[in-house]
Chain A
């Protein structure tokens, strides 16, 4: 049976995988991919709730989240390219100029 709970569980799994990926991985671009997974999980939750509540404002937020995700992707890529020009690496372990 497809129900709200199914959607919520899938989005929870997606969100946890994304969060784990952000903490696990060491490549800036892959970390960003995992952040996109988290945002997708959020969108799925919003759409499920919105559909169940019969109220569209959740879907409007999803639309804005997608826009913002695209904006973030552009800025993130620009930062990665700038850093690569200077150091030729995108591994955040190699970026130890500032101690973390």
Chain B
């Protein structure tokens, strides 16, 4: 290992060091202040700068085949760090109102981003596993950060038990893949799967390898809350603090997708793989995607609480991205990357608005509370309307292009039925997204006096406005993101 190896992991080092700095700062600070959040924002920005600087460097596998550093990992590092910055900005007001200690909160956010970066860049199953666990353990704690509230405790316990259960499956999958291929290095697995390197004939069994892949899929499907493994998601997102739920459901999910891409289209199921069960596993992924899209959207229709509605719709969004993974082609990977960026912007700001509107006593989550919002908080209502349109995938907004690319990938892969399921479920989804807009703009609140509250320009508002502006720009000039990604993933 040499100088270049450390340059490759520089974003990771910056994030971890900032996390440590936050803890030290917090320990020596007499009066609690907001400086940890400031440090988090600075650290996230620093990681983004380092990742951007790395984009121009030649792709390497650092530390002797452990850590990818290329444009793909750079892109995901940038969006995970951006998600951390956004959620640090969003949580400033939220945590202050609830008198939370923010030092540990910020440190855990930063360490969880470290885990995500490892997941997106792990060139060895050991690194992928450790990244997944760093992220998950930080999330178990973050979900329970309101430790005096029962709902937060329960969300944390539920997430912890089901998450560890999923980790067991993921690890068993790793063990079987290791046993049958004889290596944990993704690049070596890829050459074996392509038939370019000899299999360890003594332990190779296509059945065991297929089982290993299925177990890995089960483990990751838990983390992205895809259909049969989604039970934890609505409860955990509803019970955990809103800003944390926003961060978990965006950055956490896209991190799992980034390692889905590395594990499946790259290593285990490359195109023209000689492995026997490839088609079957592709079908399994496609069925998971279809079920998640339909189930998430159909159940979201009947929800009356906005956090649960967003949670179920996040199951559907996981389905869309899983559709891109199951296509196992270039378009699919590009589609997942575009959708990850757009989804982080949409969902984090949607949860951000919910966190601004929720009351400190834990009320304000019912959809009824949003009736007549356009009169009370015209600016927030306007921003939320744009986010809802984008989540629904209405054309001029960024969400549309993300979906378009994913469905295109499915058609290219010869799975037209999957694209049709995707379109149908998007149509179902537009019902409940548009219903929020109808409630805000076209329904009169009965009992409330409609006083327009002037919008305070605080960090939350700035972060939400920034995210929505980005959504608009990307929606109007989609070529911006698509060309960038096309350039990065060429």
A residues near B, CB below 8 A?
4, 15, 18-19, 22, 28, 31-32, 35, 38-39, 41-42, 45-46, 48-50, 52-53, 55, 57-58, 60-61, 64-65, 68, 71-72, 75-76, 78-80, 82-83, 86-87, 92, 95, 97-100
CB pair B172 A42 closer than 8 Å? yes
Q: Is B140 an interface residue (CB 8 A)?
A: yes
CB-contact partner of B231 in A80, A95, A97, A100, under 8 A:
A100
Whether A61 contacts B174 in the complex (CB less than 8 A), given A53-B179, A79-B144, comes out as yes
Question: How many Å lie between the Cα of A72 and that of B168 in the bound state?
Answer: 12
Distance (Å) between the CB of B117 and the closest chain A CB? 18
A selection of 23 A-B contacts at a CB cut-off of 8 Å is A28-B161, A32-B161, A38-B168, A41-B172, A42-B174, A45-B176, A45-B179, A49-B175, A52-B202, A57-B126, A58-B175, A60-B126, A61-B129, A64-B126, A68-B133, A75-B141, A76-B164, A79-B144, A79-B156, A82-B147, A83-B150, A83-B153, A87-B153
CB pair A98 B168 closer than 8 Å? no
Interface residues of B in 220-255 (CB under 8 A from A): 231, 235, 238-239
Q: CB-nearest residue of chain B relative to A86?
A: B150
Distance (Å) between the CB of A68 and the closest chain B CB? 5
Q: Is B382 an interface residue (CB 8 A)?
A: no
Q: Is B93 an interface residue (CB 8 A)?
A: no
| Chain A residues, Cβ within 8 Å of B235 | 98-100
Question: How many Å lie between the Cα of A2 and that of B140 in the bound state?
Answer: 41
Q: Is B184 an interface residue (CB 8 A)?
A: yes
Q: CB-nearest residue of chain A relative to B237?
A: A98
Question: How many Å lie between the Cα of A38 and that of B385 in the bound state?
Answer: 46
CB pair A75 B137 closer than 8 Å? yes
CB pair B172 A35 closer than 8 Å? no
CB pair B157 A15 closer than 8 Å? no
Q: Is B264 an interface residue (CB 8 A)?
A: no
CB pair A79 B157 closer than 8 Å? yes
Whether A39 contacts B160 in the complex (CB less than 8 A), given A49-B178, A68-B133, comes out as no
CB pair B200 A53 closer than 8 Å? yes
CB-contact partner of A98 in B137, B154, B172, under 8 A:
B154
Question: How many Å lie between the Cα of A15 and that of B141 in the bound state?
Answer: 26
Q: Is B329 an interface residue (CB 8 A)?
A: no
| Chain B residues, Cβ within 8 Å of A18 | 168
| Chain B residues, Cβ within 8 Å of A64 | 126, 129-130
Q: Is B392 an interface residue (CB 8 A)?
A: no
Question: How many Å lie between the Cα of A19 and that of B54 in the bound state?
Answer: 43
CB pair B165 A35 closer than 8 Å? yes
Question: How many Å lie between the Cα of A57 and that of B178 in the bound state?
Answer: 9
| Chain B residues, Cβ within 8 Å of A35 | 161, 164-165, 168
Q: Is B148 an interface residue (CB 8 A)?
A: yes
| Chain A residues, Cβ within 8 Å of B176 | 45
Distance (Å) between the CB of A29 and the closest chain B CB? 10
Distance (Å) between the CB of A36 and the closest chain B CB? 9
CB-contact partner of A31 in B149, B161, B182, under 8 A:
B161
How many B residues touch A, CB cutoff 8 Å?
Answer: 43
Q: Is B318 an interface residue (CB 8 A)?
A: no
CB pair B150 A97 closer than 8 Å? yes
CB pair B182 A53 closer than 8 Å? yes
Distance (Å) between the CB of A66 and the closest chain B CB? 12
Q: Is B203 an interface residue (CB 8 A)?
A: yes
Question: How many Å lie between the Cα of A35 and that of B169 in the bound state?
Answer: 10
Q: CB-nearest residue of chain A relative to B124?
A: A57
Q: CB-nearest residue of chain A relative to B168?
A: A38
Interface residues of B in 443-481 (CB under 8 A from A): none
Question: How many Å lie between the Cα of A87 and that of B203 in the bound state?
Answer: 50
Question: How many Å lie between the Cα of A71 and that of B167 in the bound state?
Answer: 13
Q: Across the A-B interface, give the 4 residue pairs with the lowest CB-CB distance, nearest first.
A: A49-B179, A38-B168, A45-B175, A98-B235
| Chain A residues, Cβ within 8 Å of B154 | 83, 95, 97-98
Whether A76 contacts B175 in the complex (CB less than 8 A), given A61-B125, A83-B153, comes out as no
Q: CB-nearest residue of chain B relative to A18?
A: B168
Question: How many Å lie between the Cα of A15 and that of B158 in the bound state?
Answer: 21
CB-contact partner of A46 in B130, B178, B183, under 8 A:
B178
CB-contact partner of B182 in A55, A87, A92, under 8 A:
A55
Distance (Å) between the CB of A86 and the closest chain B CB? 5
| Chain A residues, Cβ within 8 Å of B126 | 57, 60-61, 64
Contact with A along B174-214 (1 / 0, CB 8 A): 11101100111000000000000000101100000000000
Q: Is B151 an interface residue (CB 8 A)?
A: yes
Whether A72 contacts B164 in the complex (CB less than 8 A), given A79-B144, A82-B144, comes out as yes
Q: Is B327 an interface residue (CB 8 A)?
A: no
Q: Is B171 an interface residue (CB 8 A)?
A: yes
Whether A61 contacts B165 in the complex (CB less than 8 A), given A39-B171, A52-B203, A79-B156, comes out as no
CB pair B203 A4 closer than 8 Å? yes
Distance (Å) between the CB of B225 and the closest chain A CB? 14
CB pair B137 A71 closer than 8 Å? yes
| Chain B residues, Cβ within 8 Å of A45 | 172, 175-176, 179
Q: Is B155 an interface residue (CB 8 A)?
A: yes
CB pair A86 B164 closer than 8 Å? no
| Chain A residues, Cβ within 8 Å of B202 | 52
| Chain B residues, Cβ within 8 Å of A39 | 167-168, 171
Q: CB-nearest residue of chain B relative to A82?
A: B147
| Chain A residues, Cβ within 8 Å of B158 | 92, 95, 98, 100
| Chain B residues, Cβ within 8 Å of A28 | 157, 161
Question: How many Å lie between the Cα of A60 and that of B64 in the bound state?
Answer: 15
